[in-house]
Structure 1
Amino acid sequence: MSVDWGRRAVVRVGRVLRFLGWFVARLVVANLVVAREILTPGWRLRPAIVRVPLPGASSTELVLTALFVGLTPGTLTVAVRTTPPVLFVHGMYAEDPHAFRREVVELQRKLRSAVRPAGGQPAGPAPAAGDPDGR
C-alpha cells in the first residue's frame, strides 16, 4: 500500500512541477508583452471581457484557475460563477475572444491535470448541476 502511495505522490509532484514550468514560461512571455506595451503605447492593446465556461470544474479548480489568471500580467478575473462554472476574464490583448478563451481553457486544463488525483476525480467539491436561467 505504501509503495502505491509513494508512486502516486511522485506522479502528483511531477504533474505540479510540469504545470508550474509551463506557467512560469507563460508568465515570462506575458510580462514581456506588457513591458512592450508600456514602452510603445498603443502597440496592440485590444481590451475585452470574455466569458469562459469551464464545464466539469470543481469549486477548487475554478478558484485556482481564477487565481492563476489574475497572476498573469494583462489578465484579470472580473467575476466567477459556480453554477455552471464560468469565469469572466478581462484581457488587455483579447482582440480575438475565441483565441483568448482557448488560452484560459488551456490554463484550466493544465491546472486540472496537475491538481486532480491519478483517477481524474475533481479536487474539492463539485459544482451544483445546472443553472435555472440557462447561462
Structure 2
Amino acid sequence: MMNPLRVLGYAVWLTGEIVKGALDVAKDAVLPGVDMQPAILELPLRCSTDLEISVMASSITITPGTITVGIASAAGTTPPTLFVHAIYASDPEEIRTGLRHMEDRVLRTTRGPGWEGRLS
C-alpha cells in the first residue's frame, strides 16, 4: 500500500508543475510563437506496473505543454515506452531530464524511498 503522505507530496509537486506549465503556455498565448518548438519524444520507462505507467502518462498529459500520445508495452527486454508530445522542445534532452525527474517522483511515491534498489 502506498503511503498517503507520499501521495500528497507528489500531488503538491505535480500541482506546482501544472502551474509552471500553464504560465509558459499563457506567455506563449500572449506572445505567439516565441518559444514553441514542438517535438515527439520517445521515453523508455523504469516504471513497470500498470499503476506506475498510468500515473506517469496521466501526469504528463495534465501538465500544460505536454501530452502522452502513445504507450508501447514492454516486450522481452524492451521496457514500456511513452511517446510524449512537448510544445517547448528546443532541447529534447532537457525535456527527457524533466520527464525522468517526474518518473523518479512517481517511483518514490509508489515504491517508497530507496526504490532504486527495487527496480521492477
TM-score with structure 2 setting the length? 0.85
Structure 1, unaligned stretches of length 5 or more? 1-7, 127-135
Identity of aligned residues (%): 32
After TM superposition, what 4+ stretches of structure 1 lie above 6 angstroms from structure 2?
none
Q: SS of the residue aligned with 2:68?
A: strand
Superposed CA offset, 1:22-51 (max 9, x none): 111111110000000001101110100001
Q: Secondary structure at the match of 1:109?
A: helix
Structure exhibiting the larger radius of gyration computed from Cα positions = 1
Number of aligned residue pairs: give it.
114
Q: Which residue is 2:59 aligned to?
A: 68
Matched, 1:32 2:23: yes
**In the TM superposition, what is the alpha-carbon distance from 1:116 to its structure 2 partner?**
2.3
SS at match of 2:82: strand
- Specify the alignment match of 1:111 in structure 2: 106
Aligned to 1:3: none
State how far apart, in whole Å, the 2-side matches of 1:118 and 1:43 are.
40
Question: Which residue among 82, 87, 93 is the counterpart of 1:98?
Answer: 93
- Closer/same/farther in 2, CA of residues 89 and 15 from structure 1, 3 Å limit: same
Is residue 55 of structure 1 aligned with residue 46 of structure 2? yes
Superposition TM-score, scaled by structure 1 size:
0.76
Unaligned segments of structure 2, at least 5 residues:
none
Q: CA deviation at 1:117?
A: 5.3
User: Could you say if the C-alpha distance between residues 41 and 56 of structure 1 is closer, same or farther in structure 2, counting changes exceeding 3 Å?
Assistant: closer
CA distance in 2, matches of 1:26, 1:19: 10
Shift of 1:94: 0.9
Q: CA RMSD in A?
A: 2.1
